[in-house]
Chain A
Amino acid sequence: MKLAATLEDVKAASSTCLRCSWCAYGPWPENLPLCPIYSRFPSFTFSGGGFLFLALALLEGKIEFSQSIADFAFSCSSCNACDTKCNVIHSHKSHVYILDAIRVMRREAVKRGFIPDGVARKIYDEVKKTGDYGRANGFKLPDKIRSDNANTVFFTECAHSKSRKGIAEATINLLEKIGSPVGQFAEKGCCGSTLYDFGFWDELEPLVKANWAKMKPMKGKKFVFFDPHCQEFIVKRYPEILPDFSPIKNQHFSQLLADAFKGGRLKSKNSGKIKVSYHDPCYLGRGLGIFDAPREVVGALKGVELVEMVRNRENSFCCGARTLGDYVPNLSEDTARERIKEFEVTGADLLITACPYCKDQFQRVMPAKDKTRVKDMTELVDERT
C-alpha cells in the first residue's frame, strides 16, 4: 500500500462523505461528541467530513492554500476518532481515511510555506535546520539488565516531552524489578512520526530509511515502545513508505507489564487504597487497538480501583496535545480541560495515561496544586511494586 501523499490520492475517499456528521459523535446511547474541534463548536466544517470537503474544494480550486488553511488543518488533534466512527470511508477501495486527507492538507500547506505559529513553527524551524527532530533522551539501561543478545529490545525514542524523564526512570526501575534482560534501540533522530503528522515530509524519508537500516538487523526481535506515536508510526506507516519493510514484532510497555504481572515476575505491594481513572491515549487505543493491557495492569495493583470515564476505550476523548493550529482559539487547552472535567466526575484520585504527550498536556492545564494527580501508568506501577 502506498502512502497517501497528494490531494489527488485522497480525492476518491473524500468523495464518499455523506455529510452525516457520524464522524463527530460517539456511539449510542451516550452519543457524546468525540471530535475535539466539533465538541468545541458543533458544525459540519469542524468535523471529519468538513476536512474532506475542504480537500475537495482545494482540489477543485474553489479555495486557495493560505495561512488559514494551515491553521485549520493543524487544529485537528489527529485523534483518529472520526475514522473510527465513519461508516462509509472504511470500505473504500483506496483505504484512505479522513486523517490521511488532513495530513495531506498539512503537507500541502507546509510546502507552500504556510505553517502555524508556535509549536508547529518551532518544530519546522528545527527540522529545516537539522534535518531531524530527534532528541537524545539519556535513557540508558543499567548493565545488570542490559543485554545486546536479548530477544526483547527497548525502543528508546527521542525526548521531547517533559514527562519523558520520569517515565524513563520508572521504566528502568520496572525492568530491573522484572529482571529479564533487554536490549536497547536508540533511534537515529526522530522515528518520523512527528514529521509525518505535521506535514514536514521533505525530511521524512531519509529519517525513516536511516531508522529502518538500524532496525533491520534486529527485526527478529521484539521491539517494546513506551510512546504509542512511535509504535503506531513504525508499525503502520513504515510499510507504506519503505519498499523493503517487513513486519516487526512489537509490544507496548503496558503489554509487557501486563505479561509480567501474569507471569508473576512483577508483584504489587500492599499500598493504600486509591481510585484511578485511565485515559486511553489515541494512538495506543484507536491507533493500535491496545485497550485491555493498561487496564489489566491497573487491575493487578493492590488497593487500586479503576473508575472509567464516560468516554473510554475506542470512544475515548483526546487530550488535545497534538492540536497545533489556532483556527479555534485555545482549542488544545480546552480539549484537555474538557477531558479533565470528565475525569473529575469519576471521583478518582489520579488520572493515569500511557503516553508522554497526554501526561504533559494534562499537567499543563491542571491547576498547580493538582498537577501530581496526573501520572503515567509506568510511574504508578513503579510506586506500587
Chain B
Amino acid sequence: MGTRRVNDGATAIDTGRLAAFLARAAGATRVRVETFEPLAGGAIQDNRRLAAEIEGGPSAGRLDAVVRMDAPSRVAVSHDRASEFALLRRMFAAGVRVPEPLWLCADAAVLGRSFFIMRRVEGEALGHRLVKTAAEHGFGDALAAELGEELAKIHAVPFAAPELSFLAAPSRAPGLDRVMTYRDFLDDLPDPAPAVEWGLAWLERHAQPQGPLALCHRDFRTGNYLVADGRLAAVLDWEFAGIGDPDEDLGWFLAKCWRFGQVAREAGGIGSRDAFLAAYERRAGRTVDRTRLGYWETMAHVRWAVIALQQADRHASGAEESLELALTAHVVPELEWEILERTREGA
C-alpha cells in the first residue's frame, strides 16, 4: 500500500489510509491507489476521481470510481454522505439509472471528512456542452423523453422504507412548506432580498392544495445527469432529495433558468416540453396539470435565487473563498427579473 501525499489545499491527504480503508471495505488482500484527484463541478460537494487496483476479495480488479465527500463549507440543508449513500442504494436497487454505490466511510480519520465511493459512470454532465451536442446531433427530444421516464421511475420509488427514515414529509401543503423553508433560509442571510420575497408572497397566495406525495430528487436538471452517446447514463447529485410534490421536480427541470442559453428548448435546454412531459405521463400513469406546473416553475426561480444568495454568502462571509461562489451573486438579477415577469397580478 504505497503511501503518497496528495496536496489538498490546506490539508494533505494520505492515500495510504484510503488504500487501507478500501482493502477493509472490499475484503481485499492489497489495494494500490493510482489516481486520486479533484473532479470538476459541484459547488457544494467535493468529488474526486479514484482509480485503484484491488487484489483479492470479491471486488478484485480495476476500480474506476468517484469519491464524494463533504465540501469544506456545507449547505446545512443538503444530506450528509451517509444519507445520500442510502438514497443511492435505494435508487440503484429500484433500477433507477444512478452510479452504483460501493462503500461508505463515516470515519473522519481516513480523509478528514466522511465520504462514499461510487462506481464511475462515463458521460458528459456539463450543461453548456450538453445542450450544444444535443442540438448538433439531434438527440434532444429522445433524451428529454428518457429523462421524463426516469423521473417517473424515481417518483414511483416507495419512500416509507426504514433506511430512508431521515426524509421528512412536509407538515403542510408542499408549496407552503417550501415557502416557509425559503423564508427561513433568507433570514440567515445578511441582506434583505425584496424581489425574492415578492415571489414568495405570490407563491404563498397561490399555493396549490396538497396532491399525492412522492420521493423527489429536488435537483433534477441539466448539469446533474450524465449522457453517453446521446443516452441518459446516470442521474447524479441526490443530496437534496426529499418527500414532496412530484410536480416540483418537473417544474425545476423545465424552468427557464436551467436551459443553459437554449431558451427555446424548454426541457432543460435539450428538448421540447412535450417530449419530456409525454414520456413522464406515460410512465407515471397520470396527467400533469399544466397550471400547477407553472406554479412550480415560478417556485424554481425563487428557489434558485435563494440558493444563489446562499452560495454568494458562503464567499462573502469568508466561510469559503471562491470566485465561482462570488459570481453566483450575479445570476440573481436575471432570476429576479423572471420572478417578477411570472408574478404580475393585475399590475
Please say whether chains A and B are actual partners in one complex: no
Q: What is A's interface to B at a CB cutoff of 8 Å?
A: none
